[in-house]
Chains A and B, each alone.
Chain A
Amino acid sequence: MWREQLPALAIAVPLAAAPIAALLKAGRTAWALTTAASGVSFVIALLLAGAVSSHNELSYAVGSWPAPYGIELRITSFSALLLLIITGASSVALLAGGQSLDAEVTPVRRPFFYAAWLLALGGLAGIVASGDAFNIFVFMEVSSLATYILIAGGSDPRALTAVFKYLIMGTVGATFYLIGIGLIYMMTGTLNLIDMEARIADVADLKPILAAVGFVTIGLVLKAGVFPLHVWLPNTYAWSPHIVTAFIAACSTKVSLYVLLRFDFMVFQGSLADHHLQFSGFLMPLAVLAILVGSGVAIVEGNLKRLLAYSSVAQIGYVVLGASLMTATGLTAGIVHMFNHALAKGTMFLAVACLATRVPSLRLENLAGIGRLMPWSTAAFMLAALSLIGIPGTAGFIGKWYLISAALEEGALGLAVVAVIVISSLMAVAYVWRVAEIACFRAPPGPDTATREAPPQMLVVLWVAALANIWFGLLPGRPLSLSGEAAMTLLGQLQ
């Protein structure tokens, strides 16, 4: 009975908790409420992930209005995986981050800050749970507006200029998406994604549909931070509160990629002639450039958080690259890499938050010898970094292994793709080594050389996250099977 309500509860729990958090006076109670709501959402996501399979998608008619007239929530394997990433990242970041956020957010702002966090969580969950194109737009804006507040909620004034740029570019991206679905609605008369897929075949060769494909793709590529539309991303990640970075770096761009893949494969791919050119001729070159440029800039970047942000630009490239191969293995690789990258990068940003409790500036030269001052935080950072590089036995390896397998199925072009993956992995070794060399092999500056770690609560959560990188590297199990099912669903039209 109550299980049928889970898709709606995944959105309703954080959204309902948000106004309560805003009304609370004490920051500590607001934190507790937010963490509890986030934890409940995580449990809901786990239950949903257990319930779905490629033959069993959960559909929920909001207000009992049947689709396609009412708004439909639809949980597929793909959305269940994304829900796990979103709610998991939020819960881990909040559990670890109470003290770190107390240091960065002024007491007056704290209740509103946590309310914004819950709105961002509810919005992101709404995007992946919804099966209605316009509904997705609304949730996209709910989560974006709340994310802007989270980013600017800290004390660094540079976050303000970063968030302004993000606000402008994010709004342009969302508006492009709105134009796209408007044009599709004009031609098909429906906003329900499943219905749209069926009806678009009749009008597939008309100009407005082609324009709509362009608008939807560019809008979502902009929101997802795919190169060269990633310019909002590095500063946003760098100057927002550390815990916020851990949360948004793990999930926000991936949610836009989810919408992009869902549109491209489930709505457009089956009906539009030559739509595959969008992947081979447009997205794949961008993905390759993202991987090479992102990794290249990360090698020379001097600020640790910006370095990791550019690494994220490269990792988004991997996901798009896997998808643009348009095979079951390629899509599985891309989707499982979303999960594994969220795990690795989330852990790394959490470790950065731990380091930041001791060092005032995250420029690399200020981190000299930090490995001796904060051994546990640094070790967790390095463990996650190994996962980011893709060392066998860590989570990051699974995605790269599948990606290389998928590329090898492609023949000559595939070899070039493999070369790109290998080169960029070596580049990842280079930028991680730069951090490792400075952190572990240089003498700490100044007289204060006593070991003083981050608060124990942060460390425990950080290490749980770091060990999860190993756990999912040795036993990829459920994330991998969910990704495989998601790939089959996406490709369903093509087989």
Chain B
Amino acid sequence: MKLFGLYNYWVFALLLMIGLYAVIAKRNLVKKLLGLSIFQSAVFLLYISMAKVEGGTAPIIQHAGEPQVFSNPLPHVLILTAIVVGISTIALGLAVVVRIREEYGTIEENEIQARDRDR
């Protein structure tokens, strides 16, 4: 069952590659950013997976006299920060796409390149 036990990490690798593929292969700038978002989400999954402790709960309440197992809270906190960073990046990227649309009238990469060549 070891392979199944690492199933989170397989999903991480798969999402990472799907995201990276979209970033590289898609010509539409918004689709590129969606790929980037999937790419970053994969990393969130990696951090959350490593924090999980078998049978662990959130480290909030300690019941008196009961031994308790807690999940590691640190990666959760780290990834909260990384999610904020991810949102800012996508927001800024979309803002740039809006500006590109205003200047070039298109968000297709090859059409933009063609216009730049004419300049």
Contacts and interface: CB of A to CB of B under 8 A. Distances in A.
Query: A and B from one assembly?
Result: yes
B23 A178 contact: no
Contact of A185 (B29, B75, B96, B119): B75
A152 B99 contact: yes
B104 A157 contact: yes
A455 to B, nearest CB: 28
B92 A186 contact: no
A164 B99 CA distance: 11
B96 to A, nearest CB: 5
Nearest to A187: B50
Interface residues of B, number: 32
A79 to B, nearest CB: 22
Nearest to B39: A175
A472 interface: no
B10 to A, nearest CB: 14
B100 A168 contact: no
Interface of A: 134, 137-138, 141, 145, 148-149, 152, 157-158, 160-161, 163-164, 167-168, 171-172, 175, 178-179, 182, 185-186
A160 B100 contact: yes
Contact of B81 (A138, A148, A167, A168): A138
A71 B33 CA distance: 32
B74 to A, nearest CB: 8
Contacts of A167: 89, 92-93, 96
Given A168-B36, A178-B82, 6 more contacts: A160-B99, A164-B100, A167-B93, A168-B93, A175-B40, A185-B50
A134 B96 contact: no
A179 B43 contact: yes
B92 A149 contact: yes
B20 interface: yes
Contact of A141 (B29, B89, B99, B100): B89
A172 B39 contact: yes
Given A134-B78, A185-B75, A161 B89 contact: no
